[in-house]
Amino acid sequence: MSFTTPEIAWAPLAPVIIVLGAAAVAILLESFLRSPETRRKVQLGVSLVALIAAAGTAIAQWAALEGAGTVVLDGMLTVDRQSLAWQVLIAVFGTLGALLFAARTRAGEEAFTPLGSVAPGSTEETLARRKGLQVTEVFPLALFAVGGMMLFTSVTDLIFLFVALEVFSLPLYILVALARRRRFLSHEGALKYFLLGAFSSAILLFGAAFLYGATGSTSYAGIAAGVASVTGVDALVLAGAVMVVVGLLFKIGAVPFHSWTPDAYQGAPTPVTAFMAAATKAAATAALLRVAYEAFHGLEWELSWLFWAVAIASMVLGTVVALVQTELKRMLAYSSVAHAGFILVAFAGFPDGALSALPFYLASYGVATLGAFAVITQVREKAEDGTVLGEATRLGQWAGLGKRSPWLAGAMALFLLSFAGIPLTAGFVGKFVAFAAAISEGGWPLVLIAVIASAAAAFFYVRLIVLMFLTDVPDGQEDAIEIDHSPLARVVVIVAVAAVLLLGIVPGPVLAAFENAGVLLLGAAG
């Protein structure tokens, strides 16, 4: 029995290697740096350098890419402009996320628990807090997640798809559980996320097995060829394809596979929610695009039912339930469910336009999401004796925020308007290009529903804006809220505001760049 070492073209994988390598180094640093304070600074530095370097490398590769792209690892991975575009996006989200991870309140308090392994409310926890311990492992965990997501966008084989999925999911499960306050809620969210995530991974694997059984291949190209050669339609192929798609829809958070989102979003430390909401959705959308366009293109007609039904259900349920939420993070979670529906609208008929529209849509959604959650970290409850407590996430607590902090409230209003798709914000252009893509392939009724849903969704966004600006602070509540001033969180808010405005007013250059990236190496038609 002979074993030939596979030829691996390492260079195209450079961005992913940088991130995962930095994550490994960061884990080692945990053992060598003793002072929590030094660890925190070094870890933040390592993360930022690695993520910016990865984004830079990806951009350089994108610019230098000749031809369509490179197939790596014998067809397991494909590095083309499309995947590089997504990698840049995820690295940017990771950078902003890392800044939020490191943000601290004025009292020097992080968003994470001082010691993850002790029971909430226990003596050990109090001791750990008093000693100033910090869970700085969150930075390498986030790096692993980013690395896995970047890999996820370029995978062209179902086995590797599963591996990449787990690489980025496992760190996220842990991160969700590390909240400093309301730790039971955090644990609960993490456990639900983990169990349901495991369930959906199983579904995905099951689907991969079906497809392997039907076509004898796990690579996208092999499956596509198998689908084409089957005369008529095979129930095994269809069931397998549906299960793989459902596994990815879970990560996107589409109805009826969304049930983890409100709990995980609410329970997770807000910086984690921000990062997870922006980056996971982007990575999962990228993977879904690739698997749909490369492997299942021949099943477009059969799968269209699935995409239509799930898109409609997500938009309607997400919007309607968000209307009645009184908890801010839950409201944004349901809004993200509705956005999952809008994303799926662009899949109607598998239009070519979606390959350039969806990166833009996710870019606009991601920056606004990161910005909105960054604002949430800045609005704090205050106890009667003046100590600053956790985040004020009940809607009522935001009444009159415009008077307390006009700039912060103004930034939040801008992000909400962008979610609502009001012109001159990034969200409008994003919705516009996504819906235009759907219309070009006759997805017209779906766009009709999407437009109505986004009009209805405007209510709960505007309701919050009205609450912030037109409602007075309730009597007796004047001192119940404290506006925090964390420089790192402020940087994220400012960057997000600038991005939302730029992408909304002069989207040209970014649209053109994604237009350039709107090609898959193993073209859909091929």
Partner 1 sequence: MLDLTWLLIAVPLASSFVLLLAGKRANPWGHWLGVAASGTAFVVGLLAFIQMLGLDEHDRSHAVHLFSWIPGGELNLDAGLLVDPLSMTFVLLVTFVGTLIHLYSVAYMEHDPDRRRFFAYLNLFVAAMLLLVLADSYLLLFVGWEGVGLASYLLIGFWNHKPEYATAANKAFVVNRIGDIGLILAMGLMFAYLGGLDFQTVFAAAPEATTAQLTAIGLMLLVAACGKSAQFPLQSWLGDAMAGPTPVSALIHAATMVTAGVYLIVRSAPVFEGAPAAQTTVAAIGAFTLILGAVIGMAKDDIKKALAASTMSQIGYMMLAAGLGPIGYAFAIFHLVTHGFFKAGMFLGAGSVMHGMSDQVDMRRFGALRTAMVTTWVTFGLGWLAILGVPPFSGFWSKDKIIEAAFVGEGAQPWILGGAALIGAGLTAFYMSRLFFMTFHGKARWTDGQHPHESPALMTVPMIILAVGSAFLGLFLAMGDRFSTWLEPVTGHAEHHEPVLPVPVIMVATLLLVAVGAWIAWRKYGAADVPETAPAASLATIAARNDMFQDSVNRGVFERPGTHLTRTLVYADAAIVDGAVDKTAHGFARTGESVRKTQNGQVRSYALTMLVGLVIVILVVVQGGL
CB 308 within 8 A of CB 300: no
Least CB distance from residue 57 to partner 1, whole Å? 26
Question: According to CB under 8 A, which residues from 419 to 438 bind partner 1?
Answer: 422-424, 429, 432-433, 435-436
Under 8 Å between Cβ of 208 and 162: yes
Dmax (CA) for the chain in angstroms is 81
- 124 or 444, CB closer to partner 1? 444
Q: How far is Cα 234 from Cα 227, in angstroms, rounded to an integer?
A: 9
By CB under 8 A, name the one of 353, 359, 366, 427 that touches partner 1: 353
Nearer residue to partner 1 within complex by CB, 19 or 467: 467
The interface with partner 1 within residues 330-349 (CB under 8 A) comprises none
| Cβ atoms within 10 Å, residue 501 | 15
Our CB check for partner 1 shows the closer of 25 and 455 to be: 455
Cis peptide before 507 (omega within 30 of 0): no
Q: Considering only residues 449-488, where is the footprint of partner 1 by CB under 8 A?
A: 451-452, 455, 458-459, 462, 466, 470
Report helix, strand or coil for 209.
helix
Q: How many CA atoms lie within 13 A of 490 on its CB side?
A: 10
C-alpha distances out from residue 432 to 435, 509, 520, Å: 5, 16, 22
Smallest separation, CB 302 to partner 1 (Å)? 4
By the rule CB under 8 A, 27 interacts with partner 1: no
Distance CA 83, CA 81 (A): 6
Whole-number Å distance between alpha carbons of 210 and 244: 10
Interface with partner 1 in residues 354-373 (CB under 8 A) = 356
| Interaction between residue 383 and partner 1 (CB under 8 A) | no
Helix (H) or strand (E) holding 354: helix 354-378
Using CB under 8 A as the binding rule, whether residue 404 contacts partner 1 is answered as: no
| Cβ 511 to partner 1 shortest distance, Å | 6
User: What are the distances in angstroms from CA 500 to CA 202, 319, 410, 427?
Assistant: 37, 22, 13, 8
Residue 22 CB, shortest distance to partner 1, in Å, is: 34
Does 389 bind partner 1 (CB under 8 A)? Our answer is no
Q: Please identify which residue in the block is written with the tokens 């909400």.
A: 416
Distance of closest approach, residue 53 Cβ to partner 1, in angstroms: 29
> Which residue's CB is nearer to partner 1, number 67 or number 232?
232
282 vs 511 by CB, closer to partner 1: 511
Residues 175-194 that bind partner 1 (CB under 8 A): 182, 184-185, 188, 191-192
Q: What three-state secondary structure class fits 1?
A: coil
User: Is residue 69 classed as helix, strand or coil in its secondary structure?
Assistant: strand
From the number of C-beta atoms within 10 Å of its C-beta (0-12, 13-18, 19+), residue 153 rates as buried
Q: At what angle do helices 328-345 and 270-290 cross, to 10 degrees?
A: 10
Q: Which of 11, 506, 523, 526 binds partner 1 (CB under 8 A)?
A: 506
Does residue 418 interact with partner 1 by CB under 8 A? no
By CB under 8 A, the residues from 249 to 308 that bind partner 1 are 250, 255-257, 259-260, 262-263, 266, 299, 301-303, 305-306
The interface with partner 1 within residues 201-240 (CB under 8 A) comprises: 203, 232-233, 235, 238-239
Which amino acid is located at 223 in the chain? I
Q: Which stretch binds partner 1 (CB under 8 A): 86-94, 136-144, 369-377, 508-516?
A: 508-516
Decide whether 103 or 295 has the Cβ nearer to partner 1.
295
Q: Which two tokens stand for residue 484?
A: 């925090």
Structure tokens at 392: 């004020």
Q: Which is closer to partner 1, CB of 396 or CB of 423?
A: 423
Q: How far is the CB of 25 from partner 1 (least distance, A)?
A: 36
Between residue 101 and residue 140, which ones bind partner 1 under the rule CB under 8 A? Answer: 119-120
Stretch of 3-11, 164-172, 280-288, 317-325 contacting partner 1, by CB under 8 A? 317-325
